[in-house]
């Protein structure tokens, strides 16, 4: 979980550059996903052998990705397409949907392909202006029904990549993906209308300064004026030590303040600047 949030923060920083997505970006995101919070992270190379996706219960093969020797040229072609005029002529959500499917189909790593595919689409959407200041997450849409997510990705007449899996009609997947974008944006619109209805002020400039973990932590402060490292530990799924270090960093950044300095019962409150976000 900690690695995923680090990768999500990295994706937002890459998106801010408004540059074409590169293979190096993808490898770095995957490295962060698999790092599990380690401080030193390297961009990960593609797999060097064959992998298979099996049914968790029956163990039967449900998908056979391309051979390892074909992965580098396939990934290069995907990234080149993303930077092409053909891709640029498509609405951003369609580009993201196609890239998600193609990445999952190539399956360039032994593990972490799904998380990296979803980060890649988040990056593409953010670069294309579909970021809404980080107020939405497609992960929530997928999590509601993971079966539907995997079913939408399972396309084609065969489980074998070389038997027309890559050339399959992906209309169903694109529709599912775009419905997710629409659903997530509708949720943001509804929340904005509710806020406007009670006279809430626009705090988007402060929200833009928060990283994904800080935005999640705001939910804790909706329930209580103060939080502990234990709350953050549970919320983000990280270790006690990592939680304490993170809170120390948040104090330095001005996101939170120490409300109770006692070592064993230390509590943190939201700084006055960001407390306005909860009004």
Look up the CATH number of the domain holding residue 49: 1.10.3290.10
Identify whether 196 is part of a domain: no
Identify whether 22 is part of a domain: yes
Where among 158, 188, 218 does a domain terminate? 188
* Residue 18 shares a structural domain with residue 155: yes
User: Into how many domains does the chain fold?
Assistant: 2
Residue 136 in tokens:
């939405």
Report which of 222, 225, 209, 213 is spatially closest to residue 257, judged by C-alpha positions.
Answer: 225
Beta strand 267-270 pairing with 53-54: unpaired
Given a contact cutoff of 8 angstroms between Cβ atoms, the answer to whether 246 and 214 are in contact is: no
How far is it, in rounded angstroms, from Cα 74 to Cα 171? 21
How far is it, in rounded angstroms, from Cα 145 to Cα 127? 27
* Residue 45 shares a structural domain with residue 83: yes
Identify whether 257 is part of a domain: yes
Given a contact cutoff of 8 angstroms between Cβ atoms, the answer to whether 278 and 221 are in contact is: yes
Identify whether 117 is part of a domain: yes
Where among 131, 158, 188 does a domain terminate? 188
* Residue 170 shares a structural domain with residue 220: no
Identify whether 195 is part of a domain: no
Question: pLDDT tens, 106-119?
Answer: 999 999 998 899 88
* Residue 183 shares a structural domain with residue 215: no
Q: Is 239 exposed, middle or buried (0-12, 13-18, 19+ CB in 10 A)?
A: middle
* Residue 20 shares a structural domain with residue 158: yes
* Residue 41 shares a structural domain with residue 179: yes
Question: pLDDT tens, 56-101?
Answer: 788 888 889 999 999 999 999 999 999 999 999 999 999 999 999 9
Residues near 9 by Cβ (< 8 Å), separated by ≥ 6? 211, 212, 213
* Residue 182 shares a structural domain with residue 44: yes
Question: pLDDT tens, 183-194?
Answer: 888 877 776 676
How far is it, in rounded angstroms, from Cα 154 to Cα 169? 11
Question: pLDDT tens, 107-160?
Answer: 999 999 988 998 899 889 988 888 765 545 677 778 788 888 888 888 877 888
Identify whether 126 is part of a domain: yes
- ∠ at Cα 138 (133, 142), nearest 5°? 165
Identify whether 193 is part of a domain: no
pTM score of the predicted model:
0.72
* Residue 12 shares a structural domain with residue 147: yes
Domain holding 91, by residue range, is: 2-188
Residue 205 in tokens:
């400039």
Task: With a cut of 70, say whether residue 37 has pLDDT above it.
Answer: no
* Residue 174 shares a structural domain with residue 231: no
Q: What is the CATH number of the domain that holds 240?
A: 1.10.10.10
Residue 220 in tokens:
């804790």
Q: Which of 19-33, 134-148, 175-189, 214-228 has the lowest mean pLDDT?
A: 134-148
Identify whether 63 is part of a domain: yes
* Residue 26 shares a structural domain with residue 159: yes
* Residue 74 shares a structural domain with residue 144: yes
Where among 145, 161, 188 does a domain terminate? 188
- Residues β-bridged to residue 258: 268
* Residue 209 shares a structural domain with residue 114: no
């Amino acid at each position: 979980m900690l690695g995923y949030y680090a990768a999500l923060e990295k994706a937002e920083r890459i998106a801010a550059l408004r540059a074409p997505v590169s293979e190096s970006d993808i490898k770095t995101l995957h490295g962060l996903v698999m790092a599990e919070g380690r401080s030193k992270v390297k961009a990960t190379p593609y797999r060097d052998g064959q992998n298979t996706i099996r049914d968790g219960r029956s163990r039967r093969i449900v998908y056979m990705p391309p051979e390892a020797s074909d992965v580098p040229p396939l990934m290069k072609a995907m990234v080149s397409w993303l930077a092409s005029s053909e891709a640029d002529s498509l609405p951003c959500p369609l580009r993201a949907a196609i890239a998600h499917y193609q990445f999952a189909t190539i399956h360039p790593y032994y593990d972490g392909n799904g998380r990296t595919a979803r980060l890649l689409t988040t990056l593409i959407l953010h670069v294309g202006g579909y970021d809404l200041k980080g107020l939405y997450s497609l992960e929530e849409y997928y999590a509601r029904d993971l079966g539907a997510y995997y079913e939408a990705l399972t396309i084609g007449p065969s489980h074998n990549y070389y038997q027309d899996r890559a050339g399959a009609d992906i209309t169903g997947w694109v529709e599912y993906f775009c419905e997710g974008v629409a659903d997530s944006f509708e949720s943001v619109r509804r929340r904005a209308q509710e806020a406007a209805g009670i006279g809430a002020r626009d705090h988007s400039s402060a929200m833009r300064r928060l990283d994904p973990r800080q935005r999640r932590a705001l939910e804790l402060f909706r329930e209580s004026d103060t939080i502990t490292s234990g709350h953050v530990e549970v919320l983000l799924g990280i270790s006690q030590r990592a939680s304490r270090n993170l809170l120390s960093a948040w104090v330095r950044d001005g996101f939170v303040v120490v409300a109770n300095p006692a070592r064993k019962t230390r509590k943190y409150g939201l700084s006055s600047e960001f407390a306005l976000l909860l009004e």
